[in-house]
Amino acid sequence: MTCKTLLHFNFKGGVGKTTLSVMDTYLLGELGHKVLLIDLDPQANATEIMRTTYNVKTEPNVDLFNGLLKLDLTHSIIELTDNVSMIPADWSLSLWPGKVEKIRNHDRMLILKTLIEQFKSQFEYIIIDVPPTLSIFTNNAILASDYVSLVLQTQKQAYTSVLKTAQYMYQLKNDYHATFDVSGVILYLVKRDAKVDREITKAATESFGDAVFINRIWQQERVKLFSNAGIKDEDYWDKKAISMYTMVLKEELHRIEEIENG
């Protein structure tokens, strides 16, 4: 199986992309796939969730910031389970943009793409989490990805942002002759029978058509708990929340398969 690099993205913060990235990593690991999560966000929220979920406090031999500077991430990986590994982030990562200013702009946006190439023989999936900003982090992540899923929380600002995000990504794709594809638009934390949510869902469908995922993440308190206390699969509400993410992941993988099969 060819390794696939996945990204969940929207310029707007708080739309659920980190939780989606962590949940995809967790679920793919549970399904027996070899998966690597790269936390490219200096806030390190994905790192915190993963450490809590797997109760792992191990630090890498070389942190991500120094690994990027040395152009070698092989010593920045920590193993969480037999199937799940992670390159964790910390605050020092915020210093990276200032350290690469002397590198030609075109080349500095392709650093991550180059560095993860060697990992593609070790993993079936590489998932990247990024901050909700237009930056060297997001550009590196987009250009390193094979498939990008746009995340749309059903509120007006998130909808406007996802339109801008899509436009920016396609411009970046043209500028760099990149080969990534958009797997679709995931509706996130949708409230049932809420007027605004219905309106945003309708607008998204009119704008993106069949690209909008059939499966979606409905608003549930347990989803917020996963973000704060790690992923658990113990009681009824855990399983109900996980089943939503499982259906979205299955659709994501199906969409990717359809793209690859033409």
Domain boundaries, the chain: 4-260
Closest alpha carbon to 92 in 138, 55, 59, 57 = 59
pLDDT in tens, 189-232: 767 777 878 888 888 888 899 999 999 988 888 888 888 889 99
Higher per-residue pLDDT: 54 or 262: 54
| 160-185 average pLDDT score | 91
Closest alpha carbon to 141 in 14, 11, 2, 50 = 11
Q: Which residue has the tokens 């590198």?
A: 103
The pTM (predicted TM-score) of the whole model is 0.95
pLDDT of residue 126: 98
pLDDT in tens, 243-259: 999 999 999 999 999 99
Describe the chain by its helix, strand, coil percentages, rounded to 5.
50, 15, 30
pLDDT of residue 243: 96
User: What CATH number does the domain located at 4-260 have?
Assistant: 3.40.50.300
